[in-house]
Chains A and B, each alone.
Chain A
Amino acid sequence: MNQKKYWRGLEELQDSPERKKNAEDEFREPLPFDEPQSLLETPTPRRDFLKYLGFSITAATVAAGCEIQVRKAIPYLVKPEEITPGVPNYYASTYCQDGDYCPILIKTIDGRPIKVEGNNLSSLTAGGTSARVQASVLSLYDTARIRYPMINGEETTWATLDKMVLQGLGDLGTGSIVILTSSIISPSIQQAISDFIVKYPQARQVTYDAVSYSGLLMANKECYGKQAIPAYHFDQARCIVGLDCDFLGTWLSPVEFARQYAVNRKIRQDNPRMSQHFQFESNMSLTGANADYRYVHKPSQSSAIALALYNAVANLKGKPTLAGEPLTDSRLTAGIQKTAKALGAQEGHALVVSGSNNPHVQVIVNGLNEMLGSGGRTLDWSSPLNYRQGIDQDMEQVLDDMAADRVGALLVYQVNPAYDYYRSDAFRVNMGRVKLSISFNERQDETTVLCKYAAPDSHYLESWGDSSPRQGYFSLQQPGIAPLFKTRQFLESLLVWSGAAQTDPLPYIQDYWKKNIYPHYNNIYPQLGNADWQTWWDQSLQNGVVEPKVTPAAVAAHFSGNMAGAAAGLSPAAAQGSLEIVFYENVAMGSGKWANNPWLQEMPDPITKCTWDNYVCISPALSDQIGATITRFNEVYHHRPVARLTIGGKDILLPVLVLPGLHPEVMAVALGYGRSNSTGMVAGDVGKNIFPFISYNAQNQAREYYSTGVKIVKTAETYPLGITQTHNSYEGRPIIRETTLHDFSLDPSALKREELAEESRYGKDYSADATLYPQIYESPGIRWGMSIDLNSCIGCSACTIACIAENNVSVVGKKEVVRAHEMQWLRIDRYFDGDPENPQVVFQPMLCQQCSNAPCENVCPVAATTHSDEGLNQMIYNRCIGTRYCENNCPYKVRRFNWRDWNGADSFADNLYLEDKANVMMNEDLTRMVLNPEVTVRSRGVMEKCTFCVQRLQDAKLVAKKAGRPLIDGEAVTACQQACPTQAIAFGNINDKASEVYRIRTQDQHFRSYYVLDLLHTLPSIDYLAKIRNKDPEDFFSEPPQHVL
């Protein structure tokens, strides 16, 4: 037996304890692996690992794309089964924020959500999205998110927090617990709240909506006995009347309504029919901009208008009219008559909606719909909408209770009354009186900073969840990434505090669904038959949405409205000549929840085309009065006069923006600006907060979004506004083609006649014969083409944000927008024509037209932009030297130059453009995780532009190639097309005779189809479909060409 002992190194010989220890575990540091126990306590949990991974891969992408030294990417140590580096995964989920709802797909690359797309399986949105939905992916990487639970602003662990909270809840004594939430459409969260209330009987849930729909809910309660909102069927309506109701932009569920609306706005040229849309409104809303007939009135007249419309229809139908204040304005009365006639003619296919928060007005409107037999047709009570549930009075009550020390604990979820309640000051004061205050909000917003405890909720892209937008319709929410920070879902917190055995959200949700939903829906999947729970659940999770097998037939509800009473309760119109102001939500900001999202802040408002601010919109007439007239000489300057407004005795300074289509005595200001600096780098000091100017009408028990007796005085100072389009008229140029339904149905070819006559002078084939050089370039395989329908484009700008997200388009910040340096590849041109008091509006999405004879290509000295054989106008970034000649020579002005180093992808050190907080934020490591690794980040000094999302086209082609088949139409989808809620954009291969684009151009819509500036013989690949207005020819305004010397 050999007892010889060999020793390696002296320490082994001495055999020190450390060496023993080291010898035992070969890794000195604990590995960043997922330890099952106490995840959050581990120094570097898996989520951090994923985070580093995600970041480093972005960094590598950025580096690879541009000429800066390559930073190393960390490869997977253990590759997750379902992830292939570089190959995107899509997870069905749901976007759901304070009642705003949209079923989505999360596109993740290397475990990193980089894009949100609509879910086509939903019958409500059919794959549509909104700008906010598209931008929500950026908010996942928001630097201002709270990263850990906090007590009085100090970091703590969840364990400690839970202990403290439970203790606090324990010794509340008599004090009640108020769970202040936004409208919650998640059944499981709702369930959890009731569980919580069971545990703590003194608790009650109060729903508070930043922008109130109380009037509507109360009216419905009175008329139909249900405090709910019926499902609207705009797709069934042939005549739509909107009263101060922006149902395409901000009201209830714009994405859903826009889809429905578009159904009857799209036109078939063989049998042209479309709905007719009347709009009565005080400010120019997105919806009003799309209306066939739009009438402007003062906000205080809205009651009178509802009444007048009711009476006019009643007269037609020989029904009893209602007594009340008559409408004096002749223009309006005429409009009312016209509208009533149209409504009457469409009985059963009419729909009147009102955005008023005055219950009496809503009652009148309900009565009106009853008279028109909308119930059971366009107004459906079979499955009401859950989007909004807040009753203003409840919130008032909460405030009183707080003042009277009756509130012991306040749990704040997704709401921010300290900012957006009209009595925010009172709220702030009373917060001090609340013993136990907990905020679940994801950031240090105005309310959270007042709360003792911050229990940050995870971002929706990190969370499990479900929602029921509408009775009987459900959708599921699954995370696209593990929580980036030590945040915890609201649901989980509730479960923990109500002492539930199972506190993990997923099992809880599954449990809820197994009990309440699965039994009724187990047979909705034909291919599965009566599926067992697990298969059913997996299928549902994959689909994201769960809907009734057969769409429930629309049903009416028994109407029991007291019309006379309502008429009596209407609020009187203010005196003539007194100025009034209306407070509205704009499409990007809404109630201000998204203030810290640079993409949305830099999104030009669809109507005013202004970014990064709120401002007071006034009519040209009023601007003359206060001496702020906009002329062709000063329209180009971005510095606009500042006015002092006096609203209800309070003063506020706001920049003036002159907007045609406003009532001469009406001003409009957007809500949702002027957030506190703590809410985020960008949100702070952008615009002014208008919520405090909202008033509460005690008699109606509802908030009022307008104010009368307003004064406006122009001050000496000016203020720069980031307006991206300063000229409003298209000067009658043939870049827009529009006509009336009447003329179009008489002779569809009239639209094209002039053009054909002109082109025929060049020979048979205009594109080949009208040029010095013959067309020699064939596209043997694919030739990409796009067709944009001006009728269904409502200008919502979802495409603009989708493009930014997909193509890593830089945010430049306000200072640069003011200098016309914005980078958006896809812009929406908004033109007014006709009467400046009340113009016609047309939206035209403008992106690179991918011209076959591209003027930009000819002039590039280094051949940095050339043509692909698929008809794409390619931009070769690393060949570009930046002469900007192509930009100058682009007749569509869609090329964008990197004026500064927006994103650190430059050859110079530390010359990154950081003059704006937005640029700082967008260049944070965290924020950069949103960058799409499939798209180069452009360096300073190069030109860039739309490429039809060439990376997506390549993906689609590869998929087809792998499957060994030709590309199927609809397989290659551009980001803008995907995002569009109205399917206004068709895209595909025009060599494929079966493709939609080909059919639109050559058969279905060839009379409407036209090319912008085809007189230049640029031969664009994008055609537009002429806008058809459902107007009487005599009312239609077609602008004559101007300024031909």
Chain B
Amino acid sequence: MSLKYESTVREPLINGDKTFHQVTEDIIRPIETRPGKLWYVGLTLSLCLLAFGIFSVSWQVYYGVGVWGENKTVGWAWDITNFVWWVGIGHAGTLISAILLLFRQGWRTGVNRAAEAMTIFAVLCAGQFPVWHVGRIWDVFFIFPYPNSRGPVWPNFVSPLMWDVFAVSTYLTVSLLFWYSGLLPDLASVRDRARTKIRKWAYGIASFGWTGTVKNWQRHEALSLVLAGLATPLVLSVHSVVSMDFATSVIPGWHTTIFPPYFVAGAIFSGFAMVQTLLILTRRILHLEDYITLGHIEAMNKIIMLTGSIVGIAYMTELFDAWYSGNFGEGGAFWWRIFGPYWWAYVMQITCNVVSPQVFWFKKLRRNVPFTFIMAIVVNIGMWMERFVIIVLSLYHDWLPSSWSYYTPRWPEIGFFLGTFGLFFTGYFLFAKYFPVIALAEIKALLKTSGESYKDKMEPIEEESTAQFIQQAAHAHEGG
């Protein structure tokens, strides 16, 4: 059982004087009231983007991948860049819920729900690219190992693309379970305070008939703990597997053993940047400043700075290896990456990912919301450039100079990318309207220890002598 004491030195995770009921009110209000104009504007915009994306993809499916800018040398470009980018973004959620849960980071509760939702939508977007980038979408079912009359012919389990299929789908499933199992009690709360019949009925179904008995809670705790334990290696594995698409190849700039950790760090980096972007908007639009506090934002900025630096070290290592290996292909690839016609892409990558996060050494900037918001965008751009650099800038000048080439995107692949933004935000807006964006039950569990108003109650305890305190603690234990 948790100790009912937390030092006043720690800053509160929930601001203002809140009771349990107040918390419920605050968090469920958006679901019960009509959303503001901003919400409608946002949703419409997202739907338009989504529609354009669908148009672009249909165009490409009908006329062939040739409508994209890819060519004989650069066989992958925006498609896989976007895939890796979205998957990377999809990492923060599970990371926050799983790893921070294992580390008993109280502050995660404020943000994990939204982050997990974001994860799910991001992974959904990511999934679109490997599916639609193929030449013959109507035959894409060939990748599934189903018994067939062709021999039977099985897929090639040695192919990293095959690993991707399993990794990404597993990741999506597990994140979904994790997210929804956490939602059950909160949906129950929505149900029980619902006034309209329709809402009672809908949330009744959605909450699976959760009542919150002690036994339920016991199992719930166990489940989330184990899921967290599983999701932690999973979240690390997913981007490792994605990185193996490149690491296991023979292309200079791709064939690199440091890719797995390098990619994971990058994923967390971009993931947190995206969480920042979304939460800064959410807390503002849904008036949840008390629950998503400056403390949260600062904590995430710290992580951004850390992972940004890790990524920076990875870049340096790459360059060092390119030189130290003495391999003409490797050296050439990086020489052309920096000094070739695509130099600007590399410059953007370095400035956005390595240089800019260093400003977070300053507490003032870490706690500056607008600045953080801008930084989050910058970091996301930088991470997109990183993937672009890795994919296109490795291919365009590879082993045989005779095939060296260049790549410029065309509207259908740009449209595809915008379309996934549409998908992502449509999902997120609907989530923000119909689901509690903050983990209600978990916040309540924290309220009495980390809530601002309750911090004051700690003062008498602070004055107590150790003996008294122990006696009290022991007394509290008699329950067990």
Direct contact between A and B judged by beta carbons closer than 8 A? yes
The winner among A897, A911, A1015, A1043 for most chain B CB atoms within 10 A is A1043
The winner among A732, A831, A941, A943 for most chain B CB atoms within 10 A is A941
Interface flag for A735 (CB, 8 Å):
yes
B413 contacts across to A, CB distance below 8 A: none
Q: Is the CB of A862 within 8 A of B64?
A: no
Q: Is the CB of A731 within 8 A of B332?
A: yes
Q: Is the CB of A1045 within 8 A of B249?
A: no
Q: How far is the CA of A891 from the CA of B332 in the complex (A)?
A: 14
Interface flag for B53 (CB, 8 Å):
no
Known: A859-B161, A899-B66, A1018-B250. A888 touches B75 (CB 8 A): yes
Query: From residue A798, how far is it (CB to closest CB) to chain B in Å?
Result: 19
Interface flag for A863 (CB, 8 Å):
yes
Interface flag for A1001 (CB, 8 Å):
no
Map CB proximity to A onto B133-162 as digits: 1 under 8 Å, 0 otherwise: 111111110110000000001111011111
Interface flag for B390 (CB, 8 Å):
no
Interface flag for B73 (CB, 8 Å):
yes
Q: Is the CB of B75 within 8 A of A885?
A: yes
Q: How far is the CA of A858 from the CA of B245 in the complex (A)?
A: 11
Query: From residue A377, how far is it (CB to closest CB) to chain B in Å?
Result: 40
Q: Which one of A307-315, A321-329, A633-641, A761-769 is at the B interface?
A: A633-641
Q: Is the CB of B71 within 8 A of A636?
A: no
The winner among A633, A889, A908 for most chain B CB atoms within 10 A is A889
Query: From residue B50, how far is it (CB to closest CB) to chain A in Å?
Result: 24
Count chain A residues whose beta carbon lies closer than 8 angstroms to a beta carbon of B. Answer: 74
Interface flag for A644 (CB, 8 Å):
no
Q: Give chain A interface residues in 194-227, CB to chain B under 8 Å.
A: none
Query: From residue B134, how far is it (CB to closest CB) to chain A in Å?
Result: 5
Q: Which one of B12-20, B223-231, B397-405 is at the A interface?
A: B397-405
Q: Is the CB of B401 within 8 A of A1043?
A: no
Q: Is the CB of B134 within 8 A of A820?
A: no
Interface flag for B242 (CB, 8 Å):
no
Known: A888-B76, A888-B249, A1045-B331. A730 touches B401 (CB 8 A): yes
Q: Is the CB of A831 within 8 A of B402?
A: yes
Q: Is the CB of B250 within 8 A of A899?
A: no
A1016 contacts across to B, CB distance below 8 A: 250, 399
Least CB separation from B343: chain A residue: A633
Q: Which of A728, A844, A881 contacts B140 (CB 8 A)?
A: A881
Q: Which one of B187-195, B199-207, B322-330, B460-468 is at the A interface?
A: B322-330
Interface flag for B165 (CB, 8 Å):
yes
Known: A863-B155, A881-B140. A1045 touches B66 (CB 8 A): no
Q: Which one of B211-219, B333-341, B436-444 is at the A interface?
A: B333-341
Q: Is the CB of A636 within 8 A of B404?
A: yes
Interface flag for B395 (CB, 8 Å):
yes
Q: Is the CB of B64 within 8 A of A900?
A: yes
Q: Is the CB of B406 within 8 A of A1045?
A: no
Query: From residue B7, how far is it (CB to closest CB) to chain A in Å?
Result: 51
Q: How far is the CA of A820 from the CA of B250 in the complex (A)?
A: 22
Q: How far is the CA of A855 from the CA of B398 in the complex (A)?
A: 14
Q: Which one of A470-478, A558-566, A587-595, A821-829 is at the B interface?
A: A821-829
Known: A860-B159, A861-B143, A862-B156. A726 touches B398 (CB 8 A): no
Interface flag for A923 (CB, 8 Å):
no
Q: Is the CB of A1045 within 8 A of B156?
A: no
Q: Is the CB of B401 within 8 A of A891?
A: no
Least CB separation from A732: chain B residue: B328
Q: How far is the CA of A892 from the CA of B66 in the complex (A)?
A: 21
Q: Is the CB of A735 within 8 A of B399?
A: yes
Q: Is the CB of B75 within 8 A of A729?
A: no
B138 contacts across to A, CB distance below 8 A: 907
Map CB proximity to A onto B273-311 as digits: 1 under 8 Å, 0 otherwise: 000000000000000000000000000000000000000
Q: Is the CB of B135 within 8 A of A819?
A: no
Least CB separation from B139: chain A residue: A881
Map CB proximity to B onto A844-887 as digits: 1 under 8 Å, 0 otherwise: 10100000000100111111100000000000000111111101
Q: Is the CB of B63 within 8 A of A911?
A: yes
Interface flag for A727 (CB, 8 Å):
yes
Q: Give chain A interface residues in 1012-1045, CB to chain B under 8 Å.
A: 1012-1013, 1015-1016, 1018, 1041-1045
Interface flag for A687 (CB, 8 Å):
no
Least CB separation from B158: chain A residue: A858
Interface flag for B319 (CB, 8 Å):
yes
Q: How far is the CA of A864 from the CA of B323 in the complex (A)?
A: 36
Q: Is the CB of A884 within 8 A of B76?
A: yes
Map CB proximity to B onto A800-823 as digits: 1 under 8 Å, 0 otherwise: 000000000000000010011110
B143 contacts across to A, CB distance below 8 A: 861-862, 881
A893 contacts across to B, CB distance below 8 A: 72-73, 398-400, 402-403
Query: From residue A747, how far is it (CB to closest CB) to chain B in Å?
Result: 25
Interface flag for B65 (CB, 8 Å):
yes
Query: From residue B200, how far is it (CB to closest CB) to chain A in Å?
Result: 47
Q: How far is the CA of A580 from the CA of B440 in the complex (A)?
A: 84
Least CB separation from A822: chain B residue: B72
Known: A632-B340, A891-B399. A899 touches B332 (CB 8 A): no
Interface flag for B251 (CB, 8 Å):
yes
B403 contacts across to A, CB distance below 8 A: 725, 893
Known: A816-B66, A819-B71. A859 touches B249 (CB 8 A): yes
Interface flag for B362 (CB, 8 Å):
no
Q: Is the CB of A897 within 8 A of B402?
A: no
Interface flag for B103 (CB, 8 Å):
no
Known: A820-B71, A941-B135. A855 touches B249 (CB 8 A): yes
Query: From residue A480, how far is it (CB to closest CB) to chain B in Å?
Result: 34
Q: Is the CB of A846 within 8 A of B73?
A: no
Q: How far is the CA of A862 from the CA of B155 in the complex (A)?
A: 4
B161 contacts across to A, CB distance below 8 A: 859, 861, 883, 885
Interface flag for A903 (CB, 8 Å):
no
Q: Is the CB of A726 within 8 A of B76?
A: no
Q: How far is the CA of A633 from the CA of B334 in the complex (A)?
A: 15
Q: Is the CB of A727 within 8 A of B401?
A: yes
Q: Is the CB of A637 within 8 A of B334?
A: no
Interface flag for A896 (CB, 8 Å):
yes
Known: A733-B328, A941-B65. A1045 touches B341 (CB 8 A): no
Query: From residue A248, how far is it (CB to closest CB) to chain B in Å?
Result: 21
Q: How far is the CA of A883 from the CA of B76 in the complex (A)?
A: 9
Interface flag for B70 (CB, 8 Å):
yes
Query: From residue B69, how far is it (CB to closest CB) to chain A in Å?
Result: 8
B329 contacts across to A, CB distance below 8 A: 733
Q: Is the CB of B75 within 8 A of A887?
A: yes
Known: A831-B402, A855-B249, A940-B135. A1044 touches B331 (CB 8 A): yes
Known: A735-B399, A822-B72, A899-B65. A881 touches B135 (CB 8 A): yes
B322 contacts across to A, CB distance below 8 A: 1044-1045
Q: Is the CB of A859 within 8 A of B135?
A: no
Least CB separation from A819: chain B residue: B71
B404 contacts across to A, CB distance below 8 A: 636, 726-727
B323 contacts across to A, CB distance below 8 A: 1044-1045
Known: A862-B156, A880-B135. A827 touches B71 (CB 8 A): no
Interface flag for A913 (CB, 8 Å):
yes
Query: From residue B405, how far is it (CB to closest CB) to chain A in Å?
Result: 5
Query: From residue A201, how far is it (CB to closest CB) to chain B in Å?
Result: 61
A734 contacts across to B, CB distance below 8 A: 328
Additional pairs, 13, CB under 8 Å, beyond known A858-B159, A884-B133, A1043-B331? A632-B339, A726-B405, A861-B162, A881-B139, A881-B143, A883-B133, A883-B134, A897-B75, A901-B64, A908-B62, A1016-B399, A1044-B331, A1045-B335
Closest 7 CB pairs of A and B: A882-B135, A941-B135, A899-B66, A1044-B331, A820-B71, A636-B406, A1043-B335
- 10 A-B pairs within 8 Å (CB atoms) are namely A636-B405, A733-B329, A881-B137, A881-B139, A883-B135, A884-B65, A884-B76, A1013-B399, A1044-B327, A1045-B319
Residues of A bordering B, CB below 8 Å: 632-634, 636-637, 725-735, 816, 819-822, 827, 829-831, 844, 846, 855, 858-864, 879-885, 887-889, 891-893, 896-901, 906-908, 911, 913, 939-943, 1012-1013, 1015-1016, 1018, 1041-1045
